[in-house]
Amino acid sequence: MEEMFVAVKLASSFALVGILSWILYLYGDLWQKSQRVRRKLQMQGIRGPPPSFLHGNLPDMQRIQSQASSINKSTTTNNHSEQFLAHDYSATLFPYFEHWRKQYGLVYTYSTGMKQHLYVNHPDLVREMNQCITLGLGKPSYITNKLAPMLGNGILRANGVSWAHQRKLVAAEFFMDKVKGMVGLMIESAQPLLQKWEQVIEGQGGVTAEVKVDADLRGLSADVISRVCFGHSYTKGKEVFSKLRSIQKIMSKQGGFLFGLGSFRDKLNLWTKKQSEISTLEREIESLIWELVEKRKRECSETSSEKDLMQLLLESAMSDQNLGKDFSKQFVVDNCKNIYFAGHETTAVAASWCLMLLALHPEWQTRIRTEVAEHCPNSIPNADSLPLFKTMTMVIQEVLRLYPAGAFVSRETYEDIQIGNLNVPKGVCLWTLIPTLHRDPEIWGPDANEFKPERFSEGVSKACKFPQAYVPFGLGTRLCLGKNFAMVQLKVVLALIISKFSFSLSPSYRHSPAYRMIVVPGHGVYILIQKI
């Protein structure tokens, strides 16, 4: 009995020592390190909300978010006038950023737990970030770790040398000369959508019909990606898209995806209930993609057809003597996942916002329709006519200004970095809120919240006071690789739709931008269409 008592006492002592050691580690290492970083920023004149021990500013963020949510529930609008465009949705989706911006200005610091952040929305500093080419500035690790099931170790998650290597392999496949060669397949992919909408009109009386464009545009965009990048139709790749979207929905359900907001119990429940589901989906996606890769390899060996992106990725990986066979396989699978997700989701959402705004402004539909008819007698665009669509380009640029798919440019310093006159210590996460930049009256003028495509009539350089503040595709060396691809696809899709249909916003539409890794129409986009 005495020996048992001694053993229990020793075990309790060891447990107590362990707990004390953990507390000392939290306070003496993590917390003090975070505070040293904060002091370095404060010494440069950067202010911010005071953090609490262990939690940083998370309690403040939860409180501000909760207050904003209760207000928004009573003010959600389905007003189809110009008024809802002026709705500051960044203040709705990320109210703590706007709350602190009013208090501390365009540059301030805050913390989430032990992590120090720097909010940067000053145009000059955004330009400096744009010009920063060091590999010591990359994607925030705590965010990319959460995205691992969806993106693997592909180019969207990678940092440092790995990112540079992958970018070199992937970027060339999205240069404009390559993208121009994809126009025919984009047109081919759009035909089923056009036919479907014609049938819907006939089925609803032959004059006007209501359509929810989101799913149709997502399917179209997915088919384009499947055809031009991976050599197969959407019907063969739809399982991959469906499963990736399932992971996205699971990960987006928790409101604190970016910063860990929400109660510990909620986060624990989500993790325990959904982690196994995510893991299963992840394995299934990888198996499906590799099956498609192997099938494509056999097809390419049997024909002399031009190689698609999937085959080129495989050959690039296999030809690199520094990569093993397993890494080569993972490189191809992960980058296919990246292109599947980013390539179709963001373009489909941008197209949805385009149709929403054009439905509100039929005069711009007319102008685009006239332009397409002028340069394409048969109303079918081609690679040569697309650069002539000046009006359409202005409209797309304005849509991407008001509703950029990406809400943030986010970076983490992996070494001490100089950005303009700021010395940013290692380990700081930098955040630039794109919608705020794009709607700032100091940059865009008093009509910043209005839909005015003509502001881009002389290009981005003349559209606003600080052109570097226009960043719908991100900025710097990590500028979206698919920028050319997205712009060309948007032009093709809009040209085909506007040539065949006129449309207005349906009474069913509820304006409610939502953040689900990208900014999407929360309740979809419903329009009333009729054949021309």
Q: Structural domains in the chain?
A: 32-135+407-452 (3.30.43.20)
Is residue 255 pLDDT above 60, yes or no? no
pLDDT at 264: 46
Mean pLDDT across 16-33: 60
Q: Considering the entire predicted model, what is its pTM?
A: 0.88
Q: Does residue 86 register a pLDDT over 80?
A: no
The pLDDT value recorded for residue 210 is: 96
- If residue 527 lies in a helix (H) or strand (E), which one and from where to where? strand 526-531
Q: Give percent above pLDDT 70 in the chain.
A: 81
Q: How confident is the model at residue 135 (pLDDT cuts 50, 70, 90)?
A: confident
Residue 372 has pLDDT above 70, yes or no: yes
Structure tokens at 525: 């986009």
Answer yes or no: is pLDDT of 19 > 50: yes
Length of the chain: 532
CA 466 and chain centroid, separation: 23
Question: Which pLDDT value is given to residue 259?
Answer: 67
The per-residue pLDDT for 333 is 82
Query: Which of 291, 312, 360, 339 lies closest to 486 in space, CA to CA?
Result: 339
pLDDT of amino acid 226:
83
527 phi and psi angles, rounded to 5 deg:
-130, 155
Q: State what percent of residues in the chain have pLDDT above 90.
A: 48
Average pLDDT, the chain: 84
Tokens at 443, concatenated: 């940059």
Is residue 79 scored above 90 in pLDDT? no
Q: What 3-state DSSP class applies to 160? A: helix
Per mean pLDDT, which range of 81-95, 103-117, 193-207, 485-499 is the poorest?
81-95
What is the tally of helices (H) and strands (E) in the chain?
21, 12
In the 3-class helix/strand/coil scheme, how is 374-443 assigned residue by residue? HHCCCCCCCCCCHHHCHHHHHHHHHHHHHCCCCCEEEEEECCCEEECCEEECCCCEEEEEHHHHHCCHHH
504 bridge partner residues: 528
Write the CA distances from 509 to 83, 89, 487, 498, integer angstroms.
14, 17, 26, 20
How high is the pLDDT of residue 246? 83
pLDDT tens sequence across 508-520: 999 989 998 889 9
Asked if the model's pLDDT at residue 40 lies above 90, the reply is yes
Please calculate the CA angle 494-498-500 and round it to the nearest 5 degrees.
125
**Structure confidence at residue 134 (pLDDT):** 87
- The residue-averaged pLDDT of 35-61 equals 93
Does residue 9 carry a pLDDT above 70?
Answer: no
Confidence check: pLDDT of 341 > 50: yes
Least confident of 43-47, 139-143, 348-352, 508-512: 139-143
Burial class of residue 410 (count of CB atoms within 10 Å of its CB; 0-12, 13-18, 19+): buried
pLDDT in tens, 162-220: 888 888 878 887 889 889 988 998 999 999 999 999 999 999 888 899 999 999 999 99
For range 403-413, the mean pLDDT? 92
- Determine the average pLDDT of the residues in 462-480: 90
Q: Is the pLDDT of residue 87 over 80?
A: no
Say yes or no to pLDDT of 317 above 90. Answer: no
Measured at the CA of 432, the angle between CA 29 and CA 390, to 5 degrees, comes to: 160
Q: Give the pLDDT of residue 291.
A: 81
Residue 22 has pLDDT above 70, yes or no: no
Which burial class, exposed, middle or buried, applies to 83 when counting CB atoms under 10 A from its CB (0-12, 13-18, 19+)?
A: exposed
pLDDT band at 468 (very low <50, low <70, confident <90, very high): very high
Q: What is the mean pLDDT of residues 258-268?
A: 54
Question: Measuring CA to CA, how many Å separate 328 from each of 11, 214, 244, 339, 343?
Answer: 48, 35, 21, 17, 21
Q: What is the mean pLDDT of residues 33-43?
A: 92
Q: In 10 A of CB 346, how many CB atoms? A: 23
Q: Which two tokens stand for residue 529?
A: 């269409």
Q: Identify whether the C-beta of residue 344 lies closer than 8 Å to the C-beta of residue 214.
A: no
**Residue written as tokens 């004059």?**
207
